[in-house]
Amino acid sequence: MSRFFALLLLFIPGVIAAIGIKLMRDTIFDDFYSYFFYPGIQFTIGLLLFIFGLLFLGGFIIYRDRKRQKIKQKDKNKAL
C-alpha cells in the first residue's frame, strides 16, 4: 500500500509537468485558451508548472538516493 502512495506521489507532479509542457507548446503553435488573457501568461504558467514538476521529481530522487547512501556527502572540513 505504501508503494502505491509513493507511485501516486511521483505521478501527480509528472502530470503537472506534462500539462506545463502542453501549455508552452500550445502557445508556440498559436493555440490559446480563453481563460488566459494573453499568450505570454499562458506560456509563463506552463513554464512554472513544468519547473515545479521537474523540481519536485528531482528533489524526491535526490532525497531517496541520499537516504539510501548512494550519493556521497560533501566534506565541509576538507582542506585544500
User: How many Å apart are CA 65 and CA 52, to the nearest integer?
Assistant: 20
Instruction: Judge whether 41 lies within some domain.
Output: yes
Query: What integer pLDDT is reported at residue 76 of this predicted model?
Result: 65
Query: What integer pLDDT is reported at residue 13 of this predicted model?
Result: 93
Total structural domains within the chain:
1
Instruction: Judge whether 48 lies within some domain.
Output: yes
Q: Extract the residue ranges of the chain whose pLDDT is less than 70.
A: 75-80
Query: What integer pLDDT is reported at residue 44 of this predicted model?
Result: 94
Instruction: Tell me the whole-structure pTM to 2 decimals.
Output: 0.78
Q: Residues near 73 by Cβ (< 8 Å), separated by ≥ 6? A: 66
Domain region containing 46: 2-67
Amino acid, res. 21: I
Instruction: Judge whether 58 lies within some domain.
Output: yes
Instruction: Judge whether 32 lies within some domain.
Output: yes
Instruction: Give yes or no for a contact between 17 and 57, defined as CB atoms under 8 angstroms apart.
Output: yes
Instruction: Judge whether 63 lies within some domain.
Output: yes
DSSP of 5-45, one letter per residue?
Answer: HHHHHHHHHHHHHHHHHHHHHHHHTT---TTSSSHHHHHHH
